[in-house]
Amino acid sequence: MRLSAIHTYPVKGCHRLDHDGAEVRPWGLAGDRRWMIVDADGVGVTQREATALVALRAVAREGGLTLRAEGHPDLHVPEPVAADPLPVRTFSNRVIPVPALPAGPAADDWVSALLDRPARLVFLDRPARHIPAGDREHDTGDQVSFADAYPLLLAGTASLAALNGWLGEAGEEPVPMARFRPNLVVDGAPAWAEDAWVGRPMSIGGVRFRAAGPCDRCVVTTIDQETGVRGREPLRTLARHRNVGQKLLFGLHLVPEGAGRVTVGDPVTVDD
């Protein structure tokens, strides 16, 4: 097995960035989901309610972020350092508020114009737990970015091919891997091999991870990541074939057990 693709999402919900390599931190990949757009209540705004986020092509840079979207001027946003922290939540319920630093009025105006609604941009200076301990069999630990649940998400190309086979049998169009917004993509494993990796240590290149659990998919998978158009697939097909305990499964959550660097082409091994 080998690592075939690496992606980050500098602002939660934004368009992906593709990489040849990335640094692994305890909370995830460097530059991944350290920024989030929040509403007036401090709750994260995602593609679930704002599909316009697919147009946001943010680029994480040393000491800050560049916001880009067609029809909007580029905006360079420095990491806030002296601002008073705000309590924010990734969801409206069942999560722990964490302190984040406001990016400032210029950034707020930019994201508000993009979404056509009042919004603020915040930065997670210190990645922290935002999911209650004990909610999952294999816990995330105490450092997580603004990701929904775990530091990283892995997906297998064979599993996507199997899903697209089911979609074809149902007369539906195939979906690209981008619909599932993974950080790491693996070639060379059988379809759904990830199911058997849960709870086991694994290595990608020289970096150690623990496979923390399967990913329960949401409505974001039905959104075209280039156009923002929403459909019904692949959730309907996952509901027929991958419904386990009323969760529609695709992909595998990972927790880093050390720091290092992963690179496209790295070998992937799973411990017995």
Question: How confident is the model over 7-18, as pLDDT tens digits?
Answer: 999 999 999 999
Question: Torsions phi, psi of 233, nearest 5?
Answer: -105, 150
Q: Which has more pLDDT, 129 or 175?
A: 175
Q: What is the mean pLDDT of residues 121-127?
A: 94
Give residue-wise pLDDT tens across range 196-235.
Answer: 999 999 999 999 999 998 999 999 999 999 999 999 999 9
CA angle 55, 57, 62 (to 5 degrees): 160
CA-to-CA dists, residue 196 to 39, 92, 128, 199, 208, angstroms: 39, 32, 28, 9, 17
Q: Is the pLDDT of residue 112 over 90?
A: yes
Is residue 244 within 8 Å of 214, Cβ to Cβ?
A: yes
Amino acid at 165: G
Is residue 144 packed enough to be buried (19+ CB in 10 Å), middle (13-18) or exposed (0-12)? buried
Q: Is the pLDDT of residue 56 over 90?
A: yes
Closest CA to 38 of 98, 118, 116: 118
* Homologous superfamily in CATH for domain 2-6+18-26+133-270: PK beta-barrel domain-like (2.40.33.20)
| C-alpha to C-alpha distance for 8 and 67, rounded to whole angstroms | 15
Does this model's pTM top 0.85?
yes
Residues of the chain with CATH 2.40.33.20: 2-6+18-26+133-270
CA 183 to chain centroid, in Å, comes to 7
Q: Is the pLDDT of residue 266 over 80?
A: yes
Confidence of residue 143 (pLDDT cuts 50, 70, 90): confident
Q: Tell the residue number behind the tokens 């899903």, with chain if given.
A: 163
Give residue-wise pLDDT tens across range 61-110.
Answer: 989 999 999 999 999 999 998 889 999 999 877 688 999 999 999 999 99
- Mean model confidence pLDDT for the chain: 94
Q: Is the pLDDT of residue 133 over 80?
A: no
- HSE-CB at 113 with a 13 A cutoff on CA atoms is 15
Is residue 46 within 8 Å of 95, Cβ to Cβ?
A: no
Report pLDDT for 163: 98
Q: Tell the residue number behind the tokens 């350290």, with chain if given.
A: 34
Confidence of residue 40 (pLDDT cuts 50, 70, 90): very high
Q: Is the pLDDT of residue 141 over 80?
A: no
Q: Which has more pLDDT, 139 or 167?
A: 167
Q: Which ranges of the chain does DSSP label H, i.e. alpha helix?
A: 105-115, 157-169, 235-241
Is residue 102 within 8 Å of 124, Cβ to Cβ?
A: no
Q: What percent of the chain has pLDDT over 70?
A: 96
Report pLDDT for 96: 84
Confidence of residue 135 (pLDDT cuts 50, 70, 90): low
| C-alpha to C-alpha distance for 35 and 38, rounded to whole angstroms | 10
Is residue 130 within 8 Å of 140, Cβ to Cβ?
A: no
| C-alpha to C-alpha distance for 218 and 235, rounded to whole angstroms | 8
| C-alpha to C-alpha distance for 240 and 235, rounded to whole angstroms | 9
Most confident stretch, 130-139, 145-154, 188-197: 188-197
